[in-house]
Amino acid sequence: MNFREITSRVIGELRLNNVDEHVPRRLILNILKSKARTFLAQKLDDRTLTQETDLYTQINCFEFQKDEIIKCPILEFRRCKTLMKSKKPLPDLIQGRYGGMIKDALSIDDFTEITVTNPQQYRRNIKRKYQLNNTVYIYVASDGYAYIPDREILAVNLLVLTVDTEKVDEISGCPECDQCKSAWDYNFIISDKLEKGVIDDTLRELIQTYKQIMPDENPNTNEYQRQ
């Protein structure tokens, strides 16, 4: 299901509930995305989404460039021999207990597997006596930029969990996009098991908001006469 289809479903339900049909589609989509983030994050923590591979979006040729180590805001990376920083930030990843969700990270030739880490885990790993010297790490900071410490890698392929699928082509170094593709044709990411809950919660919020702002058709009558 794409953005256009799911917003059309919500608009149809709003009309059945006598809600003004001119509720902006962009507002509807933003609320749907917000609900989807919440539902997916909850399921991510209880590990019930691990087998639903169709929820993940491929980012091809996500590009990196050398960063000045001394200026790196992440203290653990200031001792690196080299540090690569992504040229662009990633779209908002679904945040679970363990951070943003990257399911797979590979070199663009698909031969080198890259391990997702955080600064604290990276620090512990490099202190291990028998650490694997060929292990490559990637870390996504809170601002969305990704870092690769101690390896000079210029691009990677990622498989990520995000509801902002329309942003993927913008950050890919080799996008496979149709020039005529509308922003409304991108996939809306949600599990089939969660779809109804996301739509129902969106409808409740929109209906409640509409009723709160619905104009008084009889402004000159008192409260009891309007009932």
Q: Measure the CA–CA gap between 32 and 18, rounded to whole angstroms.
A: 20
Radius of gyration of the chain (CA): 22
- Determine the pLDDT at residue 222: 45
Are 166 and 182 a contacting pair, CB within 8 Å?
Answer: no
Are 218 and 226 a contacting pair, CB within 8 Å?
Answer: yes
DSSP letter string, the chain: -BHHHHHHHHHHHHHHTT--TTS-HHHHHHHHHHHHHHHHHHHHHTT-STT-GGG-EEEEEEEEEE--GGG-S-GGGTT-S-EEEESSPPPPPPEETTEE-EEEEEETTS-SBEEE--HHHHHHHHH-TT--TT-EEEEE-TTS-EEEET----EEEEEE--S-GGGHHHHBSS----TT--GGGSBP---HHHHHHHHHHHHHHHHHHHHHHPPPS-TTS-HHHH-
- Determine the pLDDT at residue 132: 57
113 burial via Cβ count (<10 Å: 0-12, 13-18, 19+):
exposed
- Determine the pLDDT at residue 120: 79
- Determine the pLDDT at residue 226: 38
Residue 126 tokens read as: 């490099």
Q: Which of 48, 43, 52, 31 is nearest to 199 (CA)?
A: 31
Boundaries of every domain in the chain = 1-52+191-212, 53-183
Residues of the chain where predicted confidence (pLDDT) is lower than 50: 216-227
CB atoms within 10 A of CB 13: 16
Residue range 99-130, pLDDT digits in tens:
668 989 999 887 889 999 887 788 777 766 55
- Determine the pLDDT at residue 78: 80
Q: Is the pTM above the cut of 0.85?
A: no
Q: Which of 80, 75, 56 is nearest to 137 (CA)?
A: 80
